[in-house]
Each structure stands twice: as C-alpha cells, then as structure tokens.
C-alpha cells in the first residue's frame, strides 16, 4: 500500500465479513478516560493513503463493545513518515496501531525497542497465513521480535489508455497489448510507434514509476537488494541493478516517451483526466488512483496488461503497535484482526490492496474478480499471477531518502534541467549525500 489510494465501496461477500468478525480476542478494560464511558477504550490507527479499512473498523467496534477506533489518515507517505518518526522519538503522539510501508520498514525496525513484540501478543499463531517473505520482513534480524503484521503487497501490471492506443493504431485488447512488450526494450519500441503516430499525448507518465519497477525486477533477479546491501551499506555504484534500470529510463526519456510528470503531483493527477499519457506502471493499488483521477467520464478508457519484464512489485505495508500505546493488548488484537485472511480479502475488495495472506489466492473472490472501470479487466487473475512471481527485495533504512533524490535527478533530465550524460554522476552524488 503506498501513496494516495482511491476509497471504494466495500463489496466483500457477507460470509467473508461475518468470518472476519469472529477473529480476534476480546479487548481488555483499558485505563478509561479516553471515552465518555468509564472503561471504554479508544484505539487510534495511523495510516497513509487508503488501506480499505473503514468498514472493517465499524465491524470491529460492533463485535467489541467498549472499543472505539479513531482513524488518522495522511494522504502522502512522504508526509506521514517524518510525523511518525517525531512521535516515536518524543515517546508520545503515535497511534496505537501504525502502518509501516516497505520503504520505511527497516528504518523503524532498527528502532525495535519503540514497538511491541507481537509474538508476545499471540501473533505467532498467524504465521502460516502469510507469504513467508512477508512474515520474515516483519521480524527483527535476530528473529526474536515481530514488529509488524503484513497487510498488502503490490504485484504489478501495466495500465494503458485504450482510446489513445486506438488513436495511435496500436492493438487495444489486453492480451494483444501484453504481447507488445515482453521486455522493456519492446516497451520502448512500442512507445516509439506510439510517439510517431502523433496523438498529442506522451507514451508514459514519467520516469519514476518505470525506474522503480525495473529496479525491483532487476534486484529480484540479482543481489536481492537495491540501494543498500543487507549490512545497510550504500551500494549505489556497485549494484548493477541500479545502473541497468537508470540507463533504461534515460533511454526512454531521450526517446521522447515521457510526459516528465512527478508521480502524485497535481499535474500528474490531472493528466489522467486530460489524457496526457498512455501508460503507467500499475501495482494493484494504483487502480483506485487512476479511477479517482480520471473520473467517471473515462470509465472503460483504461485497461490492465502485463508488466514488461514480468514479476516485480511496488508497495506493501505492515501494521505495528508502538510501545508508547496505553492499550498494547487491545491494539495488538486490532492489528491481528485487520491482517487476518478474511479482513485482508475484505480490504482488497474495498481498495485493491492485494493480500499478503495466501488463503484466498485461489478463491473465486480473487480469481474471478474483475473491474468494470478497467474494461472488466480480470484484475484478480492479473495481479494474482504477478503475486506468484514476486521476489522480495531488501530496502535499507535510508531507502526513501535516496529514492527521492534519484527520482529528482531523473525528473531533471526529463525537464531539460540536466543533460543525460551528466545524470549518472549526479545520481551517485545525491545518493551518497542522502545516505549519510
């Protein structure tokens, strides 16, 4: 789960929701004073974007009289992270349950003393529910402490604008489109065909999404890490996955394929409605963003194809309980409820946050899921296939800092503020600075 996600109506089957209500133990009495009724407990949950939890919060409250859930949400991860860090450093202010995105997970796992060990709260019995790598990433390196329970993962597709493809004389059905780009070189070749057709739109939104997609794919096939090795040493120049992805994106930019829009900027958001670009790397949670920004008038004008290169993922989070919580047991119970298989399925059906719990991967609720906004694309099958190919990649504690600076370099090239032949050295310099 990353960034700003579209809120959707919960459409989980009644049986799934009823089962979700049965998970989790009764909450303790709490210390009172945080509700109008003595003995009641208010649990604050801090998230970014949209995890698809609103209906689940209500269900939990209904099943646990005396427990009230207060949801504090920040749209952008870049705004959320420093606030959470400040609260943890101060020893107060953080929610009872907090979301940790993949890019900031190690940063906070390195502060394990600031979090409750969820193994002490009975979470160990849930291990079999999760993808093994998702569970392991929530553990400290010594294997003694579980900091977070996995929520979603972000398996990838490639979303494309059907009308713009038709205007460019390209195939428009998702199977035909997928065949256009089994590799990123074929993606570039398709982009050159699109550009030559003179549609007035750019082939892709910007460099950042493609770079991050390729970087994770390359790292998954290589060393299994990106900017930092598993000893948290910066390996920007020595990790070939970075240079390979960087050079390929520079090639895309020099070919004139990019609209050079910063991801999640106002201009980028407006580009969906205006038809400014034809493709975007598309983790499952991106569907809600596209629908939100493109609006109802563009329904069925977008579709989902396979991602070039196959596999890869973008995003995914964990739920943790800060040690400063006054209601640690109750908070852990809520975190366990929100991450059990039934709740993960319900959240997926609400907000396209693809589960890290494998229980329903072959269930019709996922395998037969389609999305009418995206031309009835079989999103359950597409992202389910992608989930099966995910190879986890290690992200160091300062991953987010380095990522932002490198993305700024790529943006500067696209906007003509930096020459392509100067870009790599500049990226090395900013990465080294951000890693200090």
Domain presence at residue 146: yes
* CA gap 318, 386 in Å, rounded: 20
Res 36: pLDDT: 61
**Per-residue pLDDT tens over the stretch 57-116:** 999 999 999 999 999 999 888 899 999 999 999 999 999 999 999 999 999 999 999 999
CATH number at residue 278: 3.40.190.10
Res 38: pLDDT: 76
**Per-residue pLDDT tens over the stretch 210-268:** 999 999 999 999 999 999 999 999 999 999 999 999 999 999 999 999 999 998 899 99
Residue 106, CA distances (Å) to 19, 46, 123, 138, 397 in order: 33, 18, 20, 9, 5
Res 33: pLDDT: 42
Same domain? 129 vs 81: yes
Range of the domain at 268: 155-313+382-435
Question: Please, which residues bridge with residue 394 across strands?
Answer: 225
**Per-residue pLDDT tens over the stretch 136-184:** 999 999 999 999 999 999 999 999 999 999 999 999 999 999 999 999 9
Same domain? 307 vs 181: yes
Same domain? 149 vs 159: no
* pLDDT exceeds cutoff 60 at 2: no
Which of the residue ranges 4-18, 32-46, 182-196, 376-390 would you say has the lowest mean pLDDT?
A: 4-18
Q: Which of 285, 286, 280 is nearest to 259 (CA)?
A: 280
Each as own residue / partner, the long-range contacts of residues 53-57 (CB below 8 Å, 24 or more positions apart, any chain) are: 53/338, 53/347, 53/350, 54/7, 54/10, 54/350, 55/10, 55/17, 55/346, 55/350, 56/20, 56/337, 56/338, 56/343, 56/346, 56/347
Domain presence at residue 202: yes
Task: Say which residue, 359 or 22, is predicted with more confidence.
Answer: 359
* CA gap 30, 39 in Å, rounded: 6
Res 8: pLDDT: 36
Same domain? 213 vs 254: yes
Domain presence at residue 7: no
Same domain? 174 vs 305: yes
Domain presence at residue 374: no
Same domain? 203 vs 283: yes
Domain presence at residue 3: no
**Per-residue pLDDT tens over the stretch 318-371:** 999 999 999 999 999 999 999 999 999 999 999 999 999 999 999 999 999 999
Domain presence at residue 4: no
Same domain? 257 vs 186: yes
Averaged pLDDT score across all residues of the chain: 91
Question: What DSSP character marks residue 275?
Answer: T
Res 75: pLDDT: 81
Same domain? 132 vs 276: no
Same domain? 292 vs 406: yes
pTM of the model: 0.87
CB 77 within 8 A of CB 104: yes
Question: What DSSP character marks residue 50?
Answer: -
Residue-wise over 176-205: b if at least 16 C-beta within 10 A, else e?
Answer: ebbebbeebeebbebbeebbebebebbbbb
Domain presence at residue 423: yes
* CA gap 100, 1 in Å, rounded: 9
Domain presence at residue 294: yes
CB 205 within 8 A of CB 289: no
Q: Which two tokens stand for residue 294?
A: 């493109």
Which of the residue ranges 7-16, 131-140, 258-267, 369-378 would you say has the lowest mean pLDDT?
A: 7-16
Same domain? 25 vs 145: yes
């Amino acid at each position: 789960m990353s960034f700003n996600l579209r809120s959707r109506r919960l459409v989980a089957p009644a049986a799934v929701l009823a089962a979700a209500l049965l998970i989790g133990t009764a909450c303790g009495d709490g210390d009172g004073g945080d509700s109008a009724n003595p003995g009641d407990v208010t649990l604050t949950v801090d998230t970014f974007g949209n995890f698809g939890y609103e209906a689940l919060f209500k269900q939990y409250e209904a099943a646990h009289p005396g427990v009230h859930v207060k949801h504090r949400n920040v749209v952008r991860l870049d705004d959320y992270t420093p606030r959470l860090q400040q609260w943890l450093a101060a020893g107060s202010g953080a929610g009872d349950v907090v979301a940790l995105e993949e890019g900031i997970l190690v940063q906070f796992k390195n502060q394990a003393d600031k979090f409750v060990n969820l193994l002490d709260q009975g979470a160990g019995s849930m291990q079999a529910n999760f993808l093994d790598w998702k569970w392991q990433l929530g553990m400290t390196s010594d294997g003694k402490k579980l900091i977070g329970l996995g929520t979603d993962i972000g398996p990838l597709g490639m979303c494309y604008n059907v009308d713009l493809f038709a205007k460019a004389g390209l195939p428009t059905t998702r199977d035909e489109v997928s065949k256009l780009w089994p590799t990123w070189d074929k993606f570039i070749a398709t982009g050159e065909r699109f550009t030559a057709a003179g549609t007035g739109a750019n082939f892709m939104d910007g460099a950042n999404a493609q770079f991050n997609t390729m970087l994770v794919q390359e790292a998954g096939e290589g060393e299994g890490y990106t900017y930092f090795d598993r000893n948290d040493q910066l390996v920007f120049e020595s990790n070939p996955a970075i240079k390979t992805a960087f050079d390929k994106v520079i090639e895309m930019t020099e070919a004139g394929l990019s609209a050079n829009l910063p991801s999640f900027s106002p201009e980028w958001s407006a580009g969906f409605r205006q038809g400014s670009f034809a493709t975007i790397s598309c983790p499952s949670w991106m569907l809600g963003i596209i629908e939100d920004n493109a609006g109802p008038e563009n329904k069925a004008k977008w579709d989902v194809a396979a991602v070039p290169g196959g596999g890869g993922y973008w995003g995914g989070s964990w739920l943790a309980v800060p040690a400063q919580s006054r209601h640690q047991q109750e908070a852990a119970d809520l975190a366990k409820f929100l991450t059990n298989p039934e709740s993960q399925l319900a959240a997926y059906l609400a907000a396209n946050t693809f589960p890290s719990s494998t229980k329903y991967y072959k269930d019709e609720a996922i395998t037969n899921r389609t999305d009418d906004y995206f031309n009835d694309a079989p999103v359950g099958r597409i992202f389910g296939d992608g989930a099966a190919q995910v190879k986890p990649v290690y992200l160091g504690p300062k991953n987010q800092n380095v990522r932002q600076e490198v993305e700024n370099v790529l943006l500067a090239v696209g906007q003509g503020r930096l020459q392509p032949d100067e870009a790599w050295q500049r990226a090395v310099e900013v990465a080294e600075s951000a890693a200090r």
